[in-house]
């Protein structure tokens, strides 16, 4: 299980570290959370009063602070004695509960039954022995709301004389200059998208600043695409590509994710689609930057991902031994979609090879082999792709449409047929919706793409999100891949591509 480490890439990744930008964010209001059947998850945050100092807190009291927008950073505060009262003669115990959205605040930690480690619950307790006290919480949180509760039993009140978030990001949203768009909803969606990307651009491109906080390559690819039309933070893209090339699994495959902190670390498992997306990352980077030197340096790693996948391709069975991610979708048969991803990235590898004057013969023959494999799952009768297990999913059709096995007209027909069939296995994440948008765009179905964008992300805006979430199903506001909707990430990188699509769909 020893990872394969390339020290030269690792050093270059370190050399590309940049200090984060810090921004002081002040509380906006003292609020409360009320039940409201008309609101997302039946919870609404209502302002009680504007925030002002001093903010007095008695023992047993709970105060909900609304910072007015999503932030990623550290909570700082000053606590003082209240003039005219007995002073703090025993420690004040403060319990903090951070939330990106109200459900996260109101769900009691003892009710947690999720499949992820409960350590991700954004709760913390702190003792303040003497006042005045000035300090901070050590852990970084992703939040808009903070519920502060006094858990000691001392009879004196204390007061906050300062309370703020020191927010961090690698980028400044004010630096992004984009053309105006007359459509108000599209403007809002674009704002949410850019805000999301900004919140996730930290020391690496994180998947979500609340949870995982890791560099996942599926997310990185979408973040980088969106970054190219917004922040253009090229150093961070290069740093992350270097990290994936530096720390690979024993077999040489690019890992699905990297724990970026000292020292970076990869687990032993892989996702076949995620390893292949290394090719996409390099392909997109070269297309945006024309930086041939960097592409040349990383090309062998990209090529190797295709070669390692080729070794697992059986033209009758598909890619064997290949765990893949594709989407959060229970019981999904991922085999056909994975062949689609393979072809999609082989095509990118071919383009990359041509730009770099590399031989393309092997790639050409591999494309042919993979096409044959994929086409063996096409059912002429139904007009869609069916897995060996007999499953018809949106995922298979979207990736088949992106694979290049069909002409534009055939792809259009495939997507239309799929819509008529309305498969049981639907797309669950904004990440998968992104590839659906790409399929529509490649088919020239611009209107349809705009419609999907406005319907899906428009509903997110309507639900009151400050950023784009990890999971969103308008039919089930409590859907969670972890059986814990309070732990869903409400600011998630793979949901940030609307700014990319708005540039594509409206910018031309």
* Nearest 10 degrees: Cα torsion 355, 361, 365, 370: -30
Q: Which stretch binds a copy of itself (CB under 8 A): 49-57, 88-96, 275-283, 434-442?
A: 88-96
Name the residue nearer to a copy of itself (CB basis): 152 or 413: 152
CA distance 238 to 240: 5
Go through 145-164 and write b for each residue having 16 or more CB atoms within 10 A of its CB, e for each that does not: bbbbbbebebebbbbbeebb
Q: Among 18, 58, 108, 127, indicate the residue that binds a copy of itself (CB under 8 A).
A: 127
Which residue is it, tokens 């797309």? 427
Minimum CB separation from a copy of itself for residue 493, in Å? Answer: 17
Q: Which strand (E) or helix (H) includes residue 340?
A: helix 335-355
Q: Residues in contact with a copy of itself, total (CB under 8 A)? A: 37
Minimum CB separation from a copy of itself for residue 78, in Å? Answer: 12
Q: Among 64, 65, 75, 92, indicate the residue that binds a copy of itself (CB under 8 A).
A: 92
Taking residues 266 to 305 in sequence order and writing x for each that binds a copy of itself by CB under 8 A, - otherwise, the string is -x--------------------------------------
Exposed / middle / buried, residue 179 (Cβ in 10 Å: 0-12, 13-18, 19+): exposed
CA distance 145 to 165: 11
Q: Among 47, 152, 166, 413, indicate the residue that binds a copy of itself (CB under 8 A).
A: 152
Minimum CB separation from a copy of itself for residue 22, in Å? Answer: 19
CA distance 74 to 136: 7
Minimum CB separation from a copy of itself for residue 507, in Å? Answer: 39
CA distance 372 to 315: 7
Q: Among 11, 24, 46, 90, indicate the residue that binds a copy of itself (CB under 8 A).
A: 90
Name the residue nearer to a copy of itself (CB basis): 171 or 258: 258
> Considering the rule CB under 8 A, would residue 81 count as an interface residue with a copy of itself?
yes
Q: Among 139, 317, 382, 408, indicate the residue that binds a copy of itself (CB under 8 A).
A: 139
Q: Among 39, 116, 421, 463, indicate the residue that binds a copy of itself (CB under 8 A).
A: 116
Task: Give the phi and the psi of residue 220 in degrees, each rounded to 5.
Answer: -55, -45
> Considering the rule CB under 8 A, would residue 93 count as an interface residue with a copy of itself?
yes
Q: Which stretch binds a copy of itself (CB under 8 A): 69-77, 133-141, 168-176, 355-363?
A: 133-141
Name the residue nearer to a copy of itself (CB basis): 91 or 464: 91
Taking residues 177 to 216 in sequence order and writing x for each that binds a copy of itself by CB under 8 A, - otherwise, the string is -----------------------------------xx---
Count CA atoms within 13 Å of residue 2 on its CB side.
3
Q: Which strand (E) or helix (H) includes residue 155?
A: none
Q: Among 52, 153, 182, 380, indicate the residue that binds a copy of itself (CB under 8 A).
A: 153
Strand-pair category, 215-216 with 29-35: unpaired
DSSP structural state of residue 10: H
Minimum CB separation from a copy of itself for residue 115, in Å? Answer: 10
Q: Which strand (E) or helix (H) includes residue 267?
A: none
Minimum CB separation from a copy of itself for residue 120, in Å? Answer: 5
Minimum CB separation from a copy of itself for residue 263, in Å? Answer: 8
> Considering the rule CB under 8 A, would residue 87 count as an interface residue with a copy of itself?
yes
> Considering the rule CB under 8 A, would residue 140 count as an interface residue with a copy of itself?
yes
Residue 163 to residues 62, 384, 396, 484: CA-CA distances in angstroms?
15, 57, 50, 30
Question: Would residue 356 be called left, alpha or beta, if left means φ above 0 and alpha means ψ between -120 and 50 degrees?
Answer: alpha
Q: Among 16, 20, 30, 154, indicate the residue that binds a copy of itself (CB under 8 A).
A: 154
- Neighbouring residues of 367: CB distance < 8 A, sequence distance ≥ 6: 343, 346, 347, 350, 404
Name the residue nearer to a copy of itself (CB basis): 93 or 188: 93
Task: Give the phi and the psi of residue 61 in degrees, each rounded to 5.
Answer: -80, 150
> Considering the rule CB under 8 A, would residue 475 count as an interface residue with a copy of itself?
no
Cβ-based neighbour number of residue 13 at 10 Å:
24
Residue 296 to residues 40, 241, 243, 291: CA-CA distances in angstroms?
48, 13, 16, 9
Residues 229-268 that bind a copy of itself (CB under 8 A): 259, 261-262, 265, 267
CA distance 295 to 293: 5
Minimum CB separation from a copy of itself for residue 508, in Å? Answer: 42
Give the SS3 label for residue 481. Answer: coil
Q: Which stretch binds a copy of itself (CB under 8 A): 33-41, 110-118, 186-194, 232-240?
A: 110-118
Q: Which stretch binds a copy of itself (CB under 8 A): 34-42, 111-119, 308-316, 362-370?
A: 111-119
> Considering the rule CB under 8 A, would residue 130 count as an interface residue with a copy of itself?
yes
Contact residues for a copy of itself (CB under 8 A)?
1, 81, 84, 86-93, 116-120, 124-127, 129-130, 132, 135, 138-140, 152-154, 212-213, 259, 261-262, 265, 267
């Amino acid at each position: 299980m020893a990872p394969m480490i390339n020290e030269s890439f690792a050093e270059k990744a370190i050399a590309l570290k940049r200090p984060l930008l810090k921004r002081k964010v002040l509380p906006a209001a003292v609020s409360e959370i009320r039940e409201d059947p008309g609101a997302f998850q039946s919870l609404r945050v209502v302002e009680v009063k504007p925030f002002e100092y001093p903010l007095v807190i008695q023992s047993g009291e709970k105060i909900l602070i609304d910072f007015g927008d999503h932030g990623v950073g550290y909570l700082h505060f000053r606590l003082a004695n209240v003039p005219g009262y007995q002073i703090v003669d025993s420690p004040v115990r403060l319990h903090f509960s951070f939330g990106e959205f109200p459900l996260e605040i109101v769900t009691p930690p003892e009710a947690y039954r999720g499949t992820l480690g409960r350590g991700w619950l954004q709760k913390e307790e702190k003792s303040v022995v003497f006042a005045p006290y000035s300090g901070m919480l050590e852990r970084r949180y992703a939040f808009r709301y903070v519920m502060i509760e006094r858990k000691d039993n001392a009879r004196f009140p204390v007061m906050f004389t300062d309370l703020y978030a020191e927010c961090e990001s690698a980028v400044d949203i004010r630096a992004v200059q984009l053309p105006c768009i007359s459509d108000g909803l599209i403007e809002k969606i674009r704002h949410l998208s850019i805000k999301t990307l900004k919140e996730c651009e930290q020391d690496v491109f994180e998947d979500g600043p609340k949870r995982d906080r890791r560099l996942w390559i599926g997310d990185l690819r979408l973040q980088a695409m969106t970054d190219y039309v917004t922040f253009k933070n090229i150093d961070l893209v290069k740093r992350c590509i270097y990290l994936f090339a530096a720390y690979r699994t024993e077999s040489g495959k690019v890992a699905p994710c990297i724990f970026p902190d000292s020292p970076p670390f990869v687990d032993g498992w892989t996702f076949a689609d995620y390893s292949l997306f290394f090719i996409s990352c390099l392909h997109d980077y070269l297309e945006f930057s024309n930086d041939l030197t960097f592409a040349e340096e990383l090309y062998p790693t990209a090529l190797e991902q295709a070669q390692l996948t080729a070794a697992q391709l059986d033209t009758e069975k598909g890619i064997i031994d290949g765990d893949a991610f594709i989407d959060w979708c229970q019981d999904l048969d991922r085999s056909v979609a994975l062949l689609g991803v393979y072809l999609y990235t082989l095509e990118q590898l071919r383009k990359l090879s041509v730009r770099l004057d590399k031989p393309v013969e092997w790639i050409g023959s591999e494309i042919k082999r993979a096409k044959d494999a994929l086409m063996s799952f096409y059912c002429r009768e139904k007009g869609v792709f069916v897995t060996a297990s007999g499953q018809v999913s949106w995922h298979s059709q979207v990736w088949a449409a992106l694979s290049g096995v069909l002409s534009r007209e055939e792809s259009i027909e495939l997507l239309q047929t799929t819509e008529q069939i309305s498969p049981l296995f639907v797309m669950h994440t904004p990440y998968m919706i992104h590839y659906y948008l790409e399929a529509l765009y490649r088919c020239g179905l611009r209107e349809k793409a705009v419609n999907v964008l406005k319907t899906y992300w428009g509903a997110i805006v309507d639900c009151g999100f400050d950023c784009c979430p990890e999971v969103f199903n308008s039919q089930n506001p409590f859907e969670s891949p972890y059986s814990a909707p309070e732990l869903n990430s409400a600011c998630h990188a793979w949901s940030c591509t609307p700014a990319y699509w708005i540039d594509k769909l409206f910018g031309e």
